[in-house]
Amino acid sequence: MPILQAKKIYKSYGNKFNKQEVLKGLDLSIHQGEFVSIMGPSGSGKTTLLNVLSSIDQVSHGMIHIEGKEITRMKEKQLAEFRKKHLGFIFQEYNLLDTLTVKENILLPLSISKMSKKEAEQKFTEVAKELGIYELKDKYPNEISGGQKQRTSAARAFIHEPSIIFADEPTGALDSKSASDLLHKLSQLNEKRNATIVMVTHDPVAASFSSRVIFIKDGQIFTQINKGEQSRQMFFQDIMKTQGVLGGVSHHEH
C-alpha cells in the first residue's frame, strides 16, 4: 500500500464569482522510501500540491491518505498531532529559530515527545553527523552559512523519523555547491533510513537526485519519469528534455 495516496484532489481559491482553480482532480500515490520531485512551470500548482499533501493547506475536494489515515477529514487538533509525529518539513527559508543553537533547533521536534534525554541525545548525534553539522552544534543560526542552515533544518526534519519529509525548494537559496551537498545528504538519508521525501523544485539538477519526477501542468499531472537503473547524468538529460516539452520553465525561474 502506498504511504501517501491522493485521489481526485481539487483546490480553488476565491469565491464563486471569481474562482481560480489551481488543482484539477489530481491523483497521486507515493510509496515508502521513494524520493519524488514535483516540477512544473510557475503557476502550475506544484507548491499548492505540496501544501495540500503536507496538510499545510486544505483541499477543496478529494481525499488524501498518509499511512492509511485520511488527513483530509481530520480536525485541526488531530492534524497538528499527526503533523508532529508523522511529517517533517524543509523550507526554502530554513525557518530556524535565531535564539536557539543548531543543536536546540534540531532537537525541537523531540521536545514534545516522551523521549528520554539520552535517546534524544543519541538521535541528535546520529543525524547531525550524517548531515555533517555535528561540530556546529553550539553555534547560532546567524553564525553559520546558508548551506549549513539548510542542513540544520534537514536534520530537524529527519530527527523524529517521520513517515514523510516534505521539502519546498530546499536548494532555492543555496549556491550550487551547498545545494549539491544538501542533495547528496538527502539522498543518502533516503537510502539509509528508507525515508520518503517529496520535494518541489524548479531545478533539474536537484530533481535528478530523486527516483521519480512528476511534472505538473495546469493543475494536473502532465507526465512522470522514473530514474530506474540509469545514471544521475542520464536522468538529468531526461528531466531537461521533459521540461523542454512542458515549456515555459527556465533555469532561473523562482
- CATH number, domain at 117? 3.40.50.300
Q: Does residue 228 lie within any of the structural domains?
A: yes
Q: Does residue 204 lie within any of the structural domains?
A: yes
Q: Does residue 16 lie within any of the structural domains?
A: no
Q: Based on C-alpha coordinates, what's the Rg of the chain? A: 18
pLDDT at 250 over 60: no
Q: How does the average pLDDT of the chain come out, rounded?
A: 91
DSSP secondary structure string for all residues of 195-239: -EEEEE-S-HHHHTTSSEEEEEETTEEEEEEE-TTS-HHHHHHHH
User: What total number of domains does the chain contain?
Assistant: 1
* Other CB atoms within 10 Å distance of the CB of residue 61: 13
- Specify the pTM: 0.91
The end-to-end CA distance of the chain, in Å, is 34
- Contact in structure between 214 and 28 (CB atoms under 8 Å): yes
Q: Which residue has the cell 523531540?
A: 110
Among candidate residues 54, 53, 139, the one with its CA nearest the CA of residue 96: 139
User: Using the 8-state DSSP alphabet, how is residue 28 labeled?
Assistant: E
Rounded mean pLDDT of 62-88? 93
Q: Does residue 61 lie within any of the structural domains?
A: no
Q: Which is higher by pLDDT, 63 or 85? A: 63
Q: Tell me what pLDDT residue 43 has.
A: 85
Among candidate residues 163, 167, 158, the one with its CA nearest the CA of residue 83: 163
Q: Does residue 254 lie within any of the structural domains?
A: no
Return the C-alpha cell found at 246.
Answer: 512542458
pLDDT at 251 over 60: no
Q: Which residue has the cell 493543475?
A: 219
- 111-167 pLDDT, tens digit per residue, is 877 889 999 999 999 999 999 999 999 999 999 999 999 999 999 999 988 999 999
**List of residues 6+ apart from 164 with CB closer than 8 A:** 3, 4, 30, 54, 66, 86, 87, 88, 196, 197, 198
Q: Tell me what pLDDT residue 106 has.
A: 95
Q: Does residue 235 lie within any of the structural domains?
A: yes
Q: Does residue 229 lie within any of the structural domains?
A: yes
State the Cα angle at 186 between 202 and 37, rounded to 5°: 35
pLDDT at 37 over 60: yes
The Cβ-side half-sphere exposure at 15, using a 13 Å CA radius, reads 1
Q: Does residue 106 lie within any of the structural domains?
A: yes
* C-alpha torsion angle, residues 103, 106, 107, 108 (rounded to 10): 120
- Please, which residues bridge with residue 200 across strands? 38, 168
CA 236 to CA 230: how far, in whole Å? 10
Instruction: Tell me which residue range forms the domain holding 108.
Output: 33-52+74-247
- Contact in structure between 28 and 221 (CB atoms under 8 Å): yes
